Structure 1
């Protein structure tokens, strides 16, 4: 099983069916916070929905097409982060992430995204890492900006959030630009 120690307080491990209850609870407790920027909250109403997400994630990993991990902060489940997609033909890894509301503002996700970027380049041999965030999701956009990603463009009406479309801002980092990150 994939486990990656980010620093003394943060680690990542593959999502597993044993996480269903705790992951659903974290999602449910942060539902309104997450709903502002994530389109799947209304489709995640029961533990069974979370179980289906985990099964899908495990299938992606088994097929070498993605990797979703649980973010552990001081031993507690804090959120999910990973590669929503791995494009082996073009050597691009697409990072996605979210944190439970009580874990935001601590620098956790910047460290996690930095560790995932480093792993994409040095562990998977990727040439590029892509992070996308809604235009007005300032918190999520700050993460690639802090890590030195370049803003590459905008995808108009990229995602439907319940009753409206949002544009996505695309950030990219190339392997030869990556300087690493500070823990």
Structure 2
């Protein structure tokens, strides 16, 4: 099983079916907060929806196409992060993440994104890591900016959020830039 310790308080663990109840609880408790920027809240209404999501994540991991982990902060699941997809043809990983509302402001997600980027370059030997965030999602955008990712541009109307489109900013960093 994949476990990656980041520091004394923080680690990443491959998502498992037994995490379903906690992930659903975390989703439910942060539903309105997360709904502002995540498109899947209205289709995650019962624990079975979360279990189906986890099964999809495990299938992606088994096929070497993605890596979905739970974020453990002081031993508790506080969010989900990982490589939503890995494009082996282009040696690029795409980081995605979300954190429960009550865990914001602890620097968790910056450390997680840094650890995932390190892992992509040192263990997976990839060439590039991308993070995409809605233009208006300042908190999410600060993460790649803190980590010196390059703003590579904007994709117009990149995502449908319930009743409107949002543009995405694409951030990227190359292996040789990260190592420096």
Asked whether the two chains share a fold, i.e. TM above 0.5, the reply is yes
* 1:139 CA drift (Å): 0.2
Normalised TM-score (structure 2): 0.99
Q: Where does residue 97 of structure 1 map in the other structure? A: 97
Q: Where does residue 158 of structure 2 map in the other structure? A: 158
* RMSD over equivalenced CA pairs, Å: 0.7
Pairing 1:102-181 to 2, within 5 Å after superposition: 102-179=102-179
Give the whole-Å Cα distance in 2 for the aligned partners of 1:28 and 1:123. 34
Give the whole-Å Cα distance in 2 for the aligned partners of 1:31 and 1:59. 26
User: Residue 59 of structure 2 aligns to a residue in which SS?
Assistant: helix
Q: Where does residue 3 of structure 2 map in the other structure? A: 3
User: Residue 50 of structure 2 aligns to a residue in which SS?
Assistant: helix
Give the whole-Å Cα distance in 2 for the aligned partners of 1:105 and 1:141. 14
1:72 aligns with 2:83: no
Give the whole-Å Cα distance in 1 for the aligned partners of 2:160 and 2:149. 25
User: Residue 89 of structure 2 aligns to a residue in which SS?
Assistant: coil
**Please, which runs of 5 or more residues in structure 2 have no aligned partner?**
none
Give the whole-Å Cα distance in 2 for the aligned partners of 1:179 and 1:132. 21
- After the TM superposition, list the runs of 4 or more consecutive aligned residues in structure 1 that deviate by more than 3 angstroms: none
Give the whole-Å Cα distance in 1 for the aligned partners of 2:125 and 2:91. 7
Give the whole-Å Cα distance in 2 for the aligned partners of 1:147 and 1:6. 16
* 1:119 CA drift (Å): 0.1
